[in-house]
Amino acid sequence: DMGGHDTYMHKEISEQPDAVDRVLRGRIDDRFSTVRLDGLNLDARDARTIRRIKILGCGTSYHAGQIGAQLIEEIARIPADAEPASEFRYRNPVVDPDTLYVAVSQSGETYDVLAAVQELKRKGGQVLGVVNVVGSAIARETDGGVYVHAGPEVCVVSTKCFTNTTVAFALLALHLGRIRDLSVADGKRIIAGLRRLPEQITEILAGEDEVKALAGNYADAKSMMFIGRVRGCPVAREASLKLKEVSYIHAEAYPASELKHGPLALIEPALPTVAIVPDDELLEKNRAALEEIKARDGRILAVAHAPQERADHTIVVPKNETELDPILMGIPLQLFAYHTALALGRDIDKPRNLAKSVTVE
């Protein structure tokens, strides 16, 4: 049942305020300015001794894991990174007893992720899951974890589950942070930010007509560049993947900081750039990248907290706490991918060559 929407993708994008509300529900503990994660199965003493966090997932879940790693580093101050599970499982990984491994999956059935979990467990690694489907194979194989509670996702292309997964990581980061060195004041600040998310997503979705008009302007592009820096980088990667999957337009994602080390050679009027420009400590650096692109007559669509002078268009998104901003900044670009695909007449819910869950090698 599409509930009045023409595609599941559109329905699922629209459901995000409720989905985020669900992942938060019952978990916030105002008394201690933290969150309760019942299924985590990680006691406080163990949480204090973790030296590193390694996040494993594929595709969109990998990108959500990259945002998760950033949230964990910033909020809990534990070194963290994400890697495609599909690569990890084949490189004879060194499994470190002081590292906490986290497997991320919407379906909970992706074979590459499951195989990585099994390999880790065989080598004595501790593995948690950040999973959407309750009782799925990865949920069962992991030692504990955080359910994402996005609800069923039918469209092959993941949208609401991506957003909810990033929120689930924010909860994990806050939980670990408050066991370690995050202050009560910062805990309160993050909680207040989390509580603002559903309303801010509603605000972003209300801008759909503007995004639709923009998508019409870019649908003739043969290729697009997506850039972002630090917090914005995984947002750019995910937006690029979304556009590729549903519109079949070639897209490339790059850290804005790396442009001058090569990809700047591609910039010309026929290659539009989508730039993620949060109002954070890197704002001026990002603006300088926009200057570089403009100097080569590149078209720029910015996603930012205020209109960007160098951009041809800016999609303005509401500001949250700096750490949480990446959760919101990709959402207009889900709509951008959707409307581009619609303008091109694509099979949005079932893009060619793709399956919802990849349960084979």
Is residue 59 near ligand F6R by the rule CB under 6 A? yes
Question: 187 near 31, Cβ under 8 Å?
Answer: no
Residue 106 or 164: which CB sits closer to ligand F6R? Answer: 106
* Cα–Cα distance, 330 to 159 (Å, whole number): 10
The least CB distance from residue 334 to ligand F6R, in Å, is: 10
For ligand F6R, the closer of residues 40 and 113 by Cβ is 113
Residue carrying structure tokens 């105002």: 30
Among 74, 119, 141, 245, binds ligand F6R (CB under 6 A): 245
Nearer to ligand F6R by Cβ, of 148 and 197: the residue is 148
Q: Does 107 interact with ligand F6R (rule: CB under 6 A)?
A: yes
Is residue 222 annotated as a catalytic residue, yes or no?
Answer: no
Q: Is 247 in the site for ligand F6R (CB under 6 A)?
A: no
- Cα distance between residue 148 and residue 179, in whole Å: 21
Give me 14's structure tokens: 């629209």
Residue with tokens 């549903």: 246
Q: How far apart are CA 244 and CA 203, in angstroms?
A: 26
Stretch that binds ligand F6R, among 9-17, 106-114, 119-127, 312-320 (CB under 6 A): 106-114
Which C-beta is closer to ligand F6R: that of 129 or that of 198?
129
Q: Where are the beta strands (DSSP E) in 87-186?
A: 99-105, 126-131, 145-147
Per CB under 6 A, which region of 53-61, 73-81, 229-237, 285-293 contacts ligand F6R?
53-61
Q: Which stretch binds ligand F6R (CB under 6 A): 54-62, 167-175, 195-203, 214-222?
A: 54-62
Rounded to whole angstroms, how far apart are CA atoms 252 and 233?
12
Nearer to ligand F6R, 113 or 304 (CB): 113
Q: Among 58, 71, 102, 174, which residue interacts with ligand F6R (rule: CB under 6 A)? A: 58
Minimum CB separation of residue 247 from ligand F6R in Å reads 13
Buried b (16+ CB within 10 A) or exposed e, 232-245: bbbbbbbbbbbbbb
Beta-ladder partners of 129: 103, 145
What's the helix, strand, coil split of the chain in %, to 5? 50, 15, 35
Backbone phi and psi for residue 37, each to the nearest 5 degrees, phi listed first: -120, 95
Nearest to 170, CA basis, from 291, 271, 27: 27
Closest distance to ligand F6R from the beta carbon of 353 (Å) = 12
In terms of CB distance, is 76 or 157 closer to ligand F6R? 157
Residue 333 beta carbon to ligand F6R: minimum distance, rounded to whole angstroms:
13
> What does the alpha-carbon distance between residue 290 and residue 84 come to, in Å, rounded to a whole number?
30
Contact at 8 Å (CB) between 188 and 319?
no
Among 14, 66, 99, 110, binds ligand F6R (CB under 6 A): 110
Segment 134 to 193, residues that bind ligand F6R, using CB under 6 A: 156-158
Q: Considering the rule CB under 6 A, would residue 106 count as an interface residue with ligand F6R?
A: yes
Residue 212 · residue 338 · CB < 8 Å:
no
Residue 96 tokens read as 């470190």
String marking each residue 332-361 x if it binds ligand F6R according to CB under 6 A: -------------------------xx---
Rounded to a whole number of angstroms, the minimum distance from the CB of residue 157 to ligand F6R is: 4
Of the candidates 243, 210, 240, 217, the one whose C-alpha atom is nearest the C-alpha of residue 341 is 243
Nearer to ligand F6R, 33 or 105 (CB): 105
Residues marked as catalytic: 356
Binding-site ranges for ligand F6R (CB under 6 A): 58-61, 105-107, 110, 113, 156-158, 245, 357-358
